[in-house]
Amino acid sequence: MKRRIRIHGLLALLWLGMLLVGCKVSLSGISIPEAARTVSVENFENQAAQTNPAFPQQLTEEVRQRFLSQTRLQVINSNGDLGFSGVITQYQTQSLALTGNETSALTRLNISIKVKFDNRLNPEKNFEKTFSRFADFQANQPLSAVESALLQEISEQLVQDIFNEAFLDW
């Protein structure tokens, strides 16, 4: 009986292994074309009415670092097998959550970016899409006091959104 369970377990593992190889699913959930060797990430530009002057470069570097740390791709300056470029289209704060005396308890930092993805190996996967994320902070704090932490939080979410859109084939 134990031998039979062991054989069934091994067969199940073998089947799962073949399924994963056949579907090109990775444990991280991303699917990067096998033929892709390089990725280029152009500097994000600012087109928003206002922004933190360091944010475009911060976002660009976070996208590049994601590829360096989580893929086998070589990051190059231009003409990669896969290419990303983008612009920051919105960087704005708005008051939220009015209190009893009609003052705002929270402020929200909204950031939107428009990203263009060029897959030179499979142009059908190309896209141009806008991604938006936000983070809230206490209204009694000036933006300058919390901006660095908010930008880190928002840029991590935006980078994940970009990565998911380009490489998740669900």
pLDDT confidence band for 105 (50 / 70 / 90)? confident
The pTM (predicted TM-score) of the whole model is 0.79
User: What's the average model confidence in pLDDT over 98-116?
Assistant: 85
* CATH number of the domain within which 106 lies: 3.30.160.150
Q: What is the mean pLDDT of the chain?
A: 85
Q: Which of 9-23, 24-38, 150-164 has the highest mean pLDDT?
A: 150-164
Cα–Cα distance, 82 to 48 (Å, whole number): 26
User: What's the average model confidence in pLDDT over 84-103?
Assistant: 85
The reply to whether 87 and 64 lie within a common domain is yes
Q: Number of structural domains, the chain?
A: 2
Beta-carbon-side half-sphere exposure of residue 110 (alpha carbons within 13 Å): 13
Domain that holds residue 6: 1-30
Amino acid in the structure at residue 75: V
Beta-carbon-side half-sphere exposure of residue 125 (alpha carbons within 13 Å): 20
> What is the pLDDT, as a whole number, of residue 29?
64
> What is the pLDDT, as a whole number, of residue 13?
52
User: Is 14:56 a contact under the CB 8 Å cutoff?
Assistant: no
Reading the block at residue 37, the tokens are: 């060797």
